[in-house]
Structure 1
Amino acid sequence: MRFDVITLFPELFAPHLEVGVTRRAYAGGSLQLKLWPLRDFAEGNYRRVDDRPFGGGPGMVMMAPPLERALSAVRGARAQEAGEGEGEGAAPRAPLIHFSPTGRKLDQALVRELAAGSGAVLLCGRYEGIDQRFLDRHVDLEVSLGDFVLSGGELPALALLDAVARLQPGVLQDAASHQQDSFEDGLLDCPHYSRPEQLPRADGGVDAVPDVLLSGHHGRIARWRRERSLEITARRRADLIEAARAAGRLSKEDERFLRSLKLDATP
């Protein structure tokens, strides 16, 4: 799987390649990352990539010509590396993803979809925005981290790469780890505990690990974790409970437990 990133700040991606568990995805070859500095495709002595917006207003707009040259180089390199032809049987064209507050919200479903594919081209905008003509011509998907504005697309790109990388085989030491993450089954994750069994408090008391987790009874532990996941989700993200219910992911036992909480998210 290969990701190509068009960016003004390629140096922001170096730590992602060198530290943390996701480094294994790149070291092991399951994920490739190619950075394309946009100024390499700008013309003139100043390597200009932006200009004032037509119609006036604050900020600068990234110009289409440098972006189109960069994208053309990316497409050519991907085709050459894959040995693609122009006819039938050529590898699927990698989608161009642009990060924008107006885009589809990045969620685990989209991460799984991308993790199962062959990669994408990531476009990291800056300044006031990107010439709409380039977006209309080339962008396949716009993605947003949420209802807020960042200085550029590099942080959303890093978030997407991190989320996709950890789903690659061999990246996590325990292959089942990501299956228990929040959102993998549509719910938030349950609480987790480690040593020591009792943690002293400032008032002289202790906070203890729940007894069920020390019982060794796998069935009871699994049910406790499921109920804590249901409770946290119902209290904090009732919309996820409704979505899980609509998708048929809640058992009769789950529904009985939710009713016992007497929350608005329960029927």
Structure 2
Amino acid sequence: MHIEIATLFPEMCEAVLGESIVGRARKAGKLSLHCRQIREYTQDKHRRVDDTPYGGGMGMVMQCEPIYNCYKAICEDLGEKPHTIYMSPKGTVFDQKKAIELSKMDNILILCGHYEGVDQRVLDKIVDEEISIGDYVLTGGEIPAMVVADAVARMCEGVLSDEVCFTDESIYSGLLEYPQYTRPEVWEGESVPPVLLTGHHKNIETWRHEQSLRITAERRPDLLAKYNAQND
């Protein structure tokens, strides 16, 4: 899979997506990811990519032309149109189902807005869907883009050492994850649950499932209701 991120702050994205699991996957050739500087595609000698909004208002709006030029360059490099996403609080809220869906695509482009947003005309021309990571406002689209890229990358073949690394995690299974423990066996007077020390895999699996059900009921009853409906 190949992921493109079009942004005014590529170094910010690279600082995160060049490290840990995603960074290792990129170096191993399991995943391709490129951060494009939108300013490189402006015709303005001062490398401006924004202007004041028509109709008045606070702040600046990102212009069509630099974004569209960047998009066309990406299409040319890939030899096809990538599935193009605009990170926006007006978009559909991102979840694990969407991460899995996107991970099955060959190429995706994530556009990061900034300032007061992006000229609607270029969004109408190139964007396939808008995605939000929650009901709050951030300075720009970079952090949301990194959230989406990280979640999608984990689903790609070969990025994690074993499929169970993600199928057993919170949300993927439909439930929140059970508690985890490691050495020492006793810490500050608190012991590891005895069942985890037995080596009895069936009992451990049952305990973990029960814990997932309990935690999900306490913290995300909405998820539990959806899980129960799907498993009736």
- Among all aligned residue pairs of Structure 1 and Structure 2, give the percentage whose two residues are the same amino acid: 44
Q: What is the 5 A alignment of 1:1-267?
A: 1-79=1-79, 93-200=81-188, 206-248=189-231
* Cα pair 1:25 1:168 within 8 Å, conserved: no
Q: Number of aligned residue pairs: give it.
A: 232
1:34 to partner: Cα distance: 1.9
Shift of 1:25: 1.5
What's the C-alpha RMSD, in Å, of the aligned pairs? 1.4
8 Å contact from structure 1 (residues 233, 241) kept in 2: yes
TM-aligned CA deviation for residue 15 of structure 1: 2.3
Q: CA deviation at 1:100?
A: 0.5
Cα drift, residue 170 of structure 1: 3.2
TM norm structure 2 = 0.95
Question: Which whole-Å CA distance do the structure 1 matches of 2:161 and 2:15 have between them?
Answer: 20
CA drift of 1:168 comes to 2.7
**Counterpart-to-counterpart distance in 2, 1:45 and 1:69:** 15
The one-letter code sitting in structure 1 at the alignment partner of 2:125 is R
- Name the structure 2 match of 1:259: none
Give the TM-score taking structure 1 as reference length. 0.83
How far off is 1:114 after superposition? 1.2
- Structure 1 counterpart of 2:167, one-letter code: Q
**Are the equivalent residues in 2 in contact too, given 1:98–1:141 (CA < 8 A)?**
yes
CA shift for structure 1 position 242: 1.1
Aligned partner of residue 21 in structure 1, secondary structure? helix
CA shift digits 1:98-126 (9 cap, x unpaired): 00011111111111111122130110100
Is the 8 Å Cα contact of residues 187 and 244 (structure 1) preserved in structure 2? yes
- Aligned residue for 1:148, secondary structure, equals coil
CA distance in 2, matches of 1:164, 1:232: 25
Tell me what 1:90 maps to: none
SS at 2:115 equivalent: coil
Query: Residues of 2 paired with 1:152 and 1:171: CA distance?
Result: 27
- Check the 8 A contact 1:41/1:67 in 2, yes or no: yes
Distance 2:157 2:56 in 1: 50
Per the TM alignment, residue 51 of structure 1 is displaced from its structure 2 partner at its CA by 0.6
Of the two structures, which has the highest relative contact order with CA contacts closer than 8 Å and spacing of 6 or more? 2
Cα deviation, residue 17, structure 1: 4.3
Contact 1:25 1:166 in 2 (8 A): no
State the match for 1:254 in structure 2.
none
Q: Unpaired runs of 5+ in structure 2?
A: none
Query: Once superposed, which parts of structure 1, at least 4 consecutive aligned residues long, lie more than 4 Å away?
Result: none
Deviation at 1:172, TM superposition (A): 2.7
Preserved contact between residue 24 and residue 170 of structure 1 (Cα < 8 Å): no
Q: Which runs of 5+ in 1 are unaligned?
A: 85-92, 201-205, 251-267
